Amino acid sequence: MSTATKADRRMLEALVCPLTQAVLQYDAERQELVSRPAKLAFPIRNGIPIMLVDEARSIA
């Protein structure tokens, strides 16, 4: 999987958590967008963020 381009990073930084509306942190290594307040990590598959709670991974 390739790393995000600058345009991709700007797009990712504009997204917010669908539950809390909090800013998401981009984890390039795991290809996830992390919402600390919701304790969820949303996957990025083939460069597309999957912003569905049912698809998110719970984090501690």
**What CATH number has the domain bearing residue 36?**
2.20.25.10
**Tell me: the pLDDT tens digits for 22-36?**
999 999 899 999 999
Helix (H/G/I), strand (E/B), else coil: 1? coil
Structural domain contains residue 32: yes
Residue 26 contacts residue 33 (beta carbons within 8 Å): yes
2 has a pLDDT exceeding 90? no
**38 is a domain residue:** yes
Kindly report the pTM of this predicted structure.
0.83
For the cut 80, the answer to whether the pLDDT of residue 58 exceeds it is yes
Sequence-separated (6 or more) residues with CB below 8 Å from residue 7: none
Task: Kindly state whether residue 36 falls inside one of the protein's structural domains.
Answer: yes
Q: Note whether residue 1 is domain-resident.
A: no
- Domain enclosing residue 42, as ranges: 6-58
For residue 13, give the H/E element and its range: helix 6-14
Whole-number Å distance between alpha carbons of 58 and 43: 11
**Domain total of the chain:** 1
